[in-house]
Structure 1
Amino acid sequence: MSLLGGIRPPITVLSVLLLALAGFTALSLGSVREDKLPAAVLTSQQHFAEDGAIALRASLDESVTDLDRVAALFSAGKPVAPDAVLDRIGSVYQKWRGTAVVEIASGRLLAARGENLPLTAVDRTKLAGEGGLAPRMVKLANGETRLLTLSLLSWKDQPQQLLVASSSLRFPGISLGNFRSIAVVGPDGDVLSNDGIPEPEMVLTDLQRDDVKRDTKQLKSFAKTAAKRARANPLTAKEPGSGGFLGVSGSLMGGEFGGDRAAAGYARLAGPEAGVGTEATSLQLTVVAMVNVAQSAGRTSDAFAGLVLAGALLLVGALVIAVLIGTVQRPLITLFLDSRRLTRGDLARPVTVPRGGEAARIGTALERLRHQLLEGTDEADGADGDTAGSGSGRRGGPLRRTGARTLVAVCAVLLLAWCVPLGLLVNRAGDDVVVPQQLVSDQRERTDTLNDRIRRALNEGHADLLSVASLMGEDTDSAHMRTLLDRTLQEHLRYQSLYVLDRSGKVLAQAGGGPQAIEGKGPREEPITVHSGGKEPVVVGTAEIPGRDGTAVVGEFRIDFLNSLLRRPGLGEIRVVDSKHRIIASNSGYRAFQKLGDDRLDALVEGSSLKVGMSPRPGSVLYRSGGDHVIAAAAPFVGGGAAKEMDWTVVSWQSVKGLAIHEYSLQNRTVLAGLLGLAVGAASLGWLWIVVIGPLRELARRAESLADGDRRTVLYPRNHDEVGAVTRSLEIIRQQLQQRQQQRKQAGAGGKPSSAPAGRN
């Protein structure tokens, strides 16, 4: 018999799979536990740390790029006095705590602004080597850490100068909310800076001082563990194809105090593309975000319910297997044995005819064929023999009513009776789902952080335009202006077009794509605005060139650049909308300037933008409707810079169903058990239908045709199994009957009958 064919393998596999599914149901549904700190909260802290790592990496790399570009632009022109260099940098950028210009040959300090820089930490003899100008971290006498960014100023026939800028390792625009702290951790696990934990001397009460000491100790413990885990290879630290953050990230759970438990997420600085390092990633820094979360009473799913469902499946499975064995397997094996007996010439015993279905039809045909072989008559004689028998030669009628198709359908209905309720009725999460408040707060804070990241990106872009405009000055040479624009466009991917526009609207120099936001007049007065005259929004930045009345440098931002900033795992759908609630940018497909299409989101955006006695504040809410709970948050643009007048709002929302919450985890596992049951039933019964039931129905038709006198149609077996064996036996019987028919014709014609023996199996 064929290994995969026959009646036994499908039924055996179905039995094993149903038994395994019953075990999975009992163990899976009985082990869904809700910890006192849900997994969704820990995952949210991991995403929070990833946001911090992205913001810090972008800020550090932006500082390095800006300083290098400014130094290159100064070096491309005429020599400038050190004080003038620092003054011009300070008028454009306010990101550095201190700047200085040092003569490399002598080490003499030529000019300085801001805080005193630890210039002794810079080895001037190694600046020319590989990595000599790489940013470096130094620790000040007061214990604070500074990042020194270096670049060269060089002019012909002038001594080389070193431009140095220092910045603190603070997070730009991270919204911490309440009871959260975030820290930058060095490669050895030391906390280099932290936000959110006040200094002990600022705390007024002993109780608050104890809380600060405990949080500081817990943060240091998290920092050591995170730095150790962050050394792993990003390719092995997460599951293949998981996507999301490109670096190493994870979550940690700390100690418990007063009903609260410390939870933390960590993320190591990673480049914007997989396998691509930057100046910031070479520092091997890790971000740790910690928050104290109120614990909930731990719950466990009812193990008895899982056992009941598993027991019900065992009963259903036993009934299905019994039906298949009793009505399909045993009758088919009996037919196989009887058909072999007839081909060997054992015609004394009647054929055992099953009770119904195709097996009964085949058995009846075999019994009729036995009489035909036994009596040596044709169809008329065979009919008499049938009548003389036990009545097993009856045709048609009741034998066809309960065929194999009906039996398979009954088995499928029995399995569906167990699977469908699991997918639609059992353990359904309703309106009473407990959603941790921390998730709602995290949605708000992360949305606010993303809002600040977009605002700062626009401000940085406008600052670049101001820098280019200040370097152009009164120079009207179009070649020089084009050189500055080309260099800026190559160093910053945020622009799709850069050009110089005079007061009459004429383009004096251009780099990149063609201008799309020219309205036939001079430059706009707004530093940043949106041009909505085309098919897609065009964000336009304008910086007037000093000393050239009405002439300005104009930059058009790529919308794809804004869309790329919105790709944050764990925030769901994200949109940037204007004051009319029209979509400007998105992290998924959208049409430019279309509406949000949800009254609840419109109301949330409107509420967060209200300015009643205070500045607009981010807001978040949990919508409960029909079991589909949605967490939504909105954060309006707040803060200084050129983008403060944009009046944009970042809104995000996500369904709670995708979060690791107890009720949904139990529901998902229940649905999974039901789907597995459907897959097991469909695969096994489908296999049985293809291999056995279909060929069996065809065999019944041919067996009846043979018994009715069809001696010409050759019977070919499809498979080497029980049905195929019965088919081969019927073919041998056909040959025997055909030979006897020829012998009778020869005898009736007066010829001598052939003495050749009948065919054997």
Structure 2
Amino acid sequence: MTTPERPRRHLPIALVVWTLGATAFLGLGAVVATAPSSWLVEDIPQSVMSEQLTRTALAARQLQRALDSGASDLNAVAAGIRTLNDIDTPGRLLTQLVATRTRYRGAAYLSPNGTVVAKAGEDVDAGAIAASDKPALAAAAPQGVSPRVFVAVPVPGDRAGRIVAEFKPQALISPLALAGPGNTRLLNADRLVIGATSGFTAFEPLSRPDLDQAAQSAKTAGAGAALHDVDGRRHLVSWAPVTTTEQTRQLGLTVVTDRPETSLTLPHSSERNELVLLGVLIASLTVVIFGWLYAVVISPLWALARDAGRIAGGDLATPVIVRRYDHLGLIARDLERVRRGLLGRS
């Protein structure tokens, strides 16, 4: 009795061609998508740096205006207290202030000896800002999870005292959006982060030396901008101090904006983006087309070759499954007919 001859192993040419083709097209898509970052390196124009510097300085000026508006708001309340000699006037005016000016956490009217005469909103730590005969700003010592900035104005005349209000942290952060894309940070006099356009931890130090250097330059030389290489990528850093002509309103705040090169609009940015999209399109079409070829051609051919080799080797017990009705299906049916014929003869 002769044993069935084992089928010869053969090289699946179709699978090899399919694999090489899919690999080549996926590689082409990857090269097209990633190559621009290496060969489309260009200088960042001075106009781009000047524009970013202008945006950062605008954010600093808008923040100072928001702080100065606190003095204007409280001066209006103080004028009302002096004019309307009514015991309920301070409380009513403060309540109206906190309700209509959402930038305040709370406000309080204090007598000359520090006693709270009226208040609205949350409690205000009036001791955090020293008494002065002029409108003043002050930042409390770093503690807790958010910065605390206060504004105070004196109330002269028969109803002497002072009005103190505390800003909400969001009132300090909102103007930073004017600096544009990237991460814009607000630093206190100790160069600790007290606000940012993206996630931050209050009172954390700057994580990069170039940002700390920018904050120092803002104090010593005013607004400016510079390019820095960070982990192999260029970053445009701009800075501007938050200044005012009133000495009692100086807080030593600084605005620092950090923009990676990928967020800048450069002459070749559109070309780079188009090539990235082209690379992604090539890769996507490769997955779709070669996936379809594998499901419709390669896998059925491989199954037919396996069944034919099995039948040629004498294994007639397992039927050939017919799942389709195209040319490959016709071949599968004929192969099953051959298997049954050989099985009947045996």
TM-score, length basis structure 1: 0.40
Aligned counterpart for 2:260 among listed residues 645, 655, 660 = 655
Aligned equivalent of 1:533, options 143, 147, 152: 143
Counterpart selection for 1:408 from 18, 25, 29 = 18
Q: Distance in 1 between matches of 2:115 and 2:323?
A: 83
1:518 paired residue among 122, 125, 131: 125
Q: Deviations over 1:224-279 (max 9, x none)?
A: xxxxxxxxxxxxxxxxxxxxxxxxxxxxxxxxxxxxxxxxxxxxxxxxxxxxxxxx
Matched, 1:438 2:44: no
Shift of 1:494: 1.0
Do the aligned residues in 2 keep the contact of 1:620 with 1:632 (CA within 8 Å)? yes
Instruction: Spell out the pairing of 1:265-276 with structure 2 (5 A cutoff).
Output: none
CA shift for structure 1 position 714: 4.3
Among 78, 100, 104, the residue aligned to 1:491: 100
User: Within 1, Cα distance between the matches of 2:310 and 2:119?
Assistant: 88
Contact 1:717/1:723, CA 8 A, preserved across alignment: no
Shifted more, 683-692 versus 624-633: the winner is 624-633
- Aligned match of 2:286 in 670, 681, 688? 681
1:549-607 deviations in Å (ceiling 9; x for gaps): 88432222111222222223744221111121111221111111112222122222212
Shift of residue 704, structure 1, vs aligned partner: 3.5
Structure 1 residue corresponding to 2:91, chosen from 465, 470, 482: 482
* Corresponding position of 2:202: 592
Superposed counterparts of 1:342-741, under 5 Å = 395-397=7-9, 399=10, 401-402=11-12, 404-416=14-26, 418-425=28-35, 428-429=38-39, 433-473=42-82, 477=87, 479-502=88-111, 507-512=116-121, 514-515=122-123, 518=125, 521=127, 524-525=130-131, 527-531=136-140, 532-547=142-157, 551-568=161-178, 570-610=180-220, 617-623=222-228, 628-641=233-246, 644-738=249-343, 740=344
Partners of 1:712 and 1:731 lie apart in 2 by 11
Which consecutive unaligned segments of at least 5 residues does structure 1 have?
A: 1-378, 384-392, 611-615, 745-761
Aligned with 1:662: secondary structure? coil
Within a 5 Å distance, the mapping from 1:739-750 to structure 2 comes to: 740=344
Rg comparison, structure with higher value: 1
Q: Where do residues 154-233 of structure 1 align in structure 2 (5 Å cutoff)? A: none
Tell me, in whole angstroms, the C-alpha distance in 1 between the residues paired with 2:6 and 2:301.
Answer: 19
Match for 1:465: what amino acid? Answer: L
Is the alpha carbon distance of 1:505 and 1:701 closer, same or farther for their aligned partners in structure 2, counting shifts above 3 Å?
A: farther
1:288-307 superposed matches below 5 A: none
After TM superposition, give the deviation of residue 650 of structure 1 in Å. 1.2
Compute the displacement of 1:659 (Å): 3.0
Q: 1:495 & 1:721 partners in 2: Cα distance?
A: 76
Q: Cα RMSD over matched residues? A: 3.4
Query: Cα gap change, 1:687/1:491 in structure 2, threshold over 3 Å: closer, same or farther?
Result: same
Structure 1 position 504, deviation (Å): 6.1
Query: Which amino acid letter does the alignment assign opposite residue 205 of structure 2?
Result: K
Amino-acid identity (%): 26
Q: Equivalents in 1 of 2:323, 2:53: separation in Å?
A: 66
Which AA in structure 2 matches 1:455?
Answer: Q
For residues 319 and 235 of structure 2, the distance between their equivalents in structure 1, rounded to whole angstroms, comes to: 67
**Cα deviations across residues 439-480 of structure 1 (Å, max 9, x unaligned)?**
212222221122111101110122101211232238573x43
Structure 2 contact 173–186 (Cα < 8 Å) conserved: no
The answer as to whether partners of 1:522 and 1:550 remain within 8 angstroms in 2 is: no
The amino acid that maps onto 1:484 is L
Give the Cα separation in 2 of the matches to 1:380 and 1:444: 89
In 2, the alpha carbon distance for the partners of 1:729 and 1:498 equals 92
Size of the aligned set, in residue pairs, is 341
CA distance in structure 1 between the partners assigned to 2:147 and 2:36 by the alignment: 48
How many angstroms apart in 1 are the aligned matches of 2:184 and 2:109? 34
Distance in 2 of aligned mates of 1:702 and 1:523 = 89
SS state at 1:632 partner: strand
Contact 1:541 1:556 in 2 (8 A): yes
Ranges in structure 2 where 5+ consecutive residues have no aligned partner: none
Contact kept in structure 1, 2:7 and 2:313, CA below 8 Å:
no
Shift in CA distance, 403/470, structure 1 to aligned 2, threshold 3 Å: same
AA aligned opposite 2:263: G
Normalised to the residue count of structure 2, the TM-score between the two structures is 0.82
CA 1:426 to 1:643, structure 2 compared with 1: closer, same or farther past 3 Å?
Answer: same
Taking structure 1 as reference, are residues 729 and 484 closer, same or farther at Cα in structure 2, changes over 3 Å only?
Answer: farther
